[in-house]
Amino acid sequence: MSIQADLSASVGRTPLIRLRHASELTGCEVLAKAELLNPGGSIKDRTALGLVLDAERRGELRPGGTIVEGTAGNTGIGLALIGASRGYRTVIFMPDTQSAEKIAALRVTGAEVRLVPAVPYKDPNHYAHHARRHAEALNAARPGSAWFANQFDNTANRDWHAATTGVEIWEQTEGRVDGFVCAAGTGGTLAGVGHALKARKPQVRIALADPAGSALASYVRTGELAASGSSISEGIGSSRVTANFDGAPIDLAWSIPDEESVPLAHRLLHEEGWCVGGSSGVNIAGAIRLARALGPGHTIVTVLADAGTRYQAKLFNPAFLHDKGIPVPAWLEQAFPAGTPARARAEIVQRAFAKAL
């Protein structure tokens, strides 16, 4: 019999799938790790597990303790589920600008969710600083009772992706991988996979797909943190260089506008059946750019980070997309008769996903 012992054992080892449209468009094999199939629904389950295992080994997370983290949502979901399976409480600080679907998904895990205003990292009221202070307060009252996960600057994040995600990509492609590309939030996935692949094949190209409004692409290209524009994508992009991102072996970087990435996410759903979030659209756009840069005949790998069901009110809302100047596909436009109220639009989307899933 093949039986997984618990939830932690079911994280990772996700399938590598061929993206038909991107492959046919570029003449390359464009492949994606289906990380939305992790038990918590995103690649951040890997990050959460790596951080927890490292903290347990170091004695920083003790039996019956409390996990505290600041997150845009997916890492919090992963930490809460893994925490529940291992006997920990979880307290999550989250910016109040995140999707209602993601906030609800986090709350149903049993985590204590504290929403705070979205402010830059340099502001002391940034959600990560709230989380750090809360963990410090818990430990002051009861030493050793809490652990601050610190996903952005705890390099156990990067190390775990090097040991798992990167190794899986190498094995699944039998070493025939020519390029890897994805967006960066903490930077753990891109840096970890980049280090793992470069160690095995130095000539592999590692690329950053950065959403508009993030400063990381500029940093890679010029050494300066500069940003312009904005994006509806959540959980990716940054205005600073995290410890996980620092030293990542990146060869190429692009700033990807929503007008390019969101239609790719829509097309993937309508033509290939994968319902993915905005960050996956950015990743696919980056994969197409990297494939074109390398030329036909190469194998490019990227990541489907999470599911589009966590962003229904944005990604699949014609009124919202029109307001942001993002193209709306005809099939989505037809689902909403002219003048449909916002609440009715949300109900239509929810019914459609309930039926499809």
Model confidence pLDDT, tens digit, residues 35-93: 999 999 999 999 999 999 999 999 999 999 999 999 988 999 999 999 999 999 999 99
pLDDT tens by residue, 298-311: 999 999 999 999 99
Output the average pLDDT for the chain.
94
Q: Which residue shows structure tokens 């983290």?
A: 69
Q: Give pLDDT, residue 334.
A: 86
Predicted pLDDT at 175: 98
pLDDT, mean of residues 99-118: 92
CB 63 within 8 A of CB 56: no
Quick one: CA dihedral 212, 159, 220, 287, positive or negative? negative
Percent of the chain with pLDDT over 90: 88
What is the DSSP annotation of 114-141?
A: EEE----TTSTTSHHHHHHHHHHHHHHH
Shortest CA distance to 248 belongs to which of 172, 195, 170, 169? 195
DSSP state of 272: I
Domains in the chain, CATH or no CATH each:
7-37+165-310 (3.40.50.1100), 43-148 (3.40.50.1100)
The answer to whether the beta carbons of residues 205 and 178 sit under 8 Å apart is: yes
The whole-angstrom separation of Cα 69 and Cα 212 is 26
Report how far residue 166's alpha carbon sits from residue 189's, in angstroms, rounded to the nearest whole number: 9
DSSP letters, 141-174, are HSTTSEEE--TTT-THHHHHHHHTHHHHHHHHTT
Whether pLDDT at 220 is above 80: yes
The dihedral through the CA atoms of 321, 323, 324, 328 has a sign that is positive
Give the mean pLDDT of 314-330.
Answer: 94
> DSSP secondary-structure letter at 9?
G
pLDDT at 130 > cutoff 80 = yes
DSSP, res 183: -
Q: Give the catalytic positions in this structure.
A: 44
The token pair that represents 119 in the structure block: 């402010």
Those residues with Cβ within 8 angstroms of residue 249's Cβ, 6 or more apart along the chain or in another chain: 191, 194, 195, 198, 206
Q: Is the pLDDT of residue 23 over 50?
A: yes
Half-sphere exposure of 334 (CA within 13 A, CB side): 3
According to the model, what pLDDT value does residue 352 have?
A: 54
C-beta of residue 36 within 8 angstroms of C-beta of residue 105 = no
CA angle 213, 218, 221 (to 5 degrees): 155
Q: Using DSSP, how many helices (H) and how many strands (E) does the chain show?
A: 15, 10
Q: Phi-psi category of 279—alpha, beta or left, where left has phi over 0 and alpha has psi -120 to 50?
A: alpha
Which residue has tokens 């996960």?
149
Beta carbons of 11 and 35 less than 8 angstroms apart: no
Average pLDDT on 216-244 reads 96
Mean pLDDT (whole number) for 137-151: 98
Confidence of residue 197 (pLDDT cuts 50, 70, 90): very high
